[in-house]
Amino acid sequence: MYGIRNLREKLDAGALGRQMYELLERLYPICRSITGEGFRETQRIVAEHVRGLELRGVPSGTQCFDWIVPKEWNIRDAYVKAPSGEKVIDFRKSNLHVLNYSVPVRAKLTLAELDKHLYTLPEQPSWIPYRTSYYKEDWGFCLAHDDYRKLEDGVYEVVIDSTLEDGDLNYGECLLLGESSREVLLSCHACHPSLCNDNLSGIVVSTFLAKLLADTPTRYSHRFVWIPGGIGSVVWMSQNQERLWRIAHGLVLTCLGDPGNFTYKKSRRGDAEIDRAVQNVLRQTGDDFAVLEFSPYGYDERNYGSQKFDLPVGSLTRSTHEGFAGYHSSADDLSLVRPEALGDSLLTYLAVLDVLENNGRYRNRIPEAEPQLGRRGLYGMQGGLQKRERLEMALLWVMNFSDGEHSLLEISDRSGYSFELISDAAGKLLEHGLLERWERDDG
């Protein structure tokens, strides 16, 4: 099943990187949160690229495991006016200025009273921090420490024109059917306001993956979800409990636009096929990469890897959220993300999906000793000497280890030859009747 491999080989990563960056620029100004119009507007824009994307809504007050869907938050405007009448904090200049989920406020406060509601980053005095208060009713403003230090004593006018009312928690979902009903889950959080690497980079890479895979024949079905971080995976899992067994593999997408090297955080299982597939692909790039063990915090992989469901879902990012300067601040802006990094991330995800598509176990039909490949035209084939030698070696590896136990992925890991080469060799051996399919975990 080479649909994804053929697709990947003809893609122009540079052009796709630029298109993803344009989409990211368009989404950047929207004030998103875990609920509300900004989240829905983002999904409407994603839907322009993804056929069949469904926007789902779960009403406030719905119980989902130990959580209750909160009220829906919307905001139109917010500012703080100094005693001089000047707007010293203005939501219209940056949506990060408002503590996300702030309840409505109209008040006149002294600086000392206002101060309790102000958040800054003294160690990075020019950045605006990103802060939220989803589950405790509160209000506040975030600002650069440099600007905070200029505030003078006096009475300030404070306005937050927001609403917190019964409504919906939304998420976007798109299922691309393959031959099998078993699914690869591709999940990203889409709830942060103007933050580029954390959130928007994952949204645009998953949007383009869904767009490209929509026209590609595949073995697995691919399920994409764009969810509010944290509670979104809780809600989605609670709504789909009977179907979770279909998730054969999964990845959480975020932090995919910075120029750093890749980091892979393993699924809770630690040795799931997805864990081995991602590491196999990253080894082939020849670049340094980091592998982290599962931990029950971070992004939505912590919910997918719950004790009860323990779904095989890891997270492939470039720098981790802790690993890039500017995380959760105004410095995570358009200048942090590079079109080339987005393009490279997209191709890397496709390479992982290709491994999942083509992995399987086979049985050598002549297990007694090395078969006579020359007689079958499999030795001394066409092609440059190096390429030919590599393929001939791959044929021997596949024949020797195809015992129904070792998968092609394990043979690739063990031999050091790329998965692509190993699966090509398996294809040739199948054609010549030297190999037979053993089991494929298709469900």
Residues that bind Zn ion (CB under 5 A): 198
- Choose between 8 and 265: whose C-beta lies nearer to Zn ion: 265
- Choose between 34 and 311: whose C-beta lies nearer to Zn ion: 34
- Residue with token string 């829906």: 72
Q: Are strands 141-142 and 118-119 parallel, antiparallel or unpaired?
A: parallel
Asked if 183 and 311 touch (Cβ cutoff 8 Å), the reply is no
- Choose between 253 and 355: whose C-beta lies nearer to Zn ion: 253
- Choose between 198 and 420: whose C-beta lies nearer to Zn ion: 198
Smallest distance from the beta carbon of 438 to Zn ion, in angstroms?
A: 43
Distances (CA, A) of 293 to 217, 269, 301: 33, 10, 12
Smallest distance from the beta carbon of 38 to Zn ion, in angstroms?
A: 15
- Choose between 198 and 258: whose C-beta lies nearer to Zn ion: 198
Smallest distance from the beta carbon of 102 to Zn ion, in angstroms?
A: 18
Asked if 247 and 311 touch (Cβ cutoff 8 Å), the reply is yes
Q: Which residue sits closest to Zn ion, CB atoms considered?
A: 198
Taking the C-alpha atoms of residue 190 and residue 170, their distance in angstroms, rounded to an integer, is: 10
Smallest distance from the beta carbon of 198 to Zn ion, in angstroms?
A: 4
Smallest distance from the beta carbon of 4 to Zn ion, in angstroms?
A: 29
List phi, psi (to 5°) of 348. Answer: -65, -40
Asked if 46 and 207 touch (Cβ cutoff 8 Å), the reply is yes
Smallest distance from the beta carbon of 227 to Zn ion, in angstroms?
A: 13
Taking the C-alpha atoms of residue 25 and residue 253, their distance in angstroms, rounded to an integer, is: 18
Is residue 266 exposed (0-12), middle (13-18) or buried (19+ Cβ within 10 Å)? buried
Query: Which ranges of 240-338 would DSSP assign to H, the alpha helix?
Result: 273-285, 301-304
- Choose between 197 and 359: whose C-beta lies nearer to Zn ion: 197
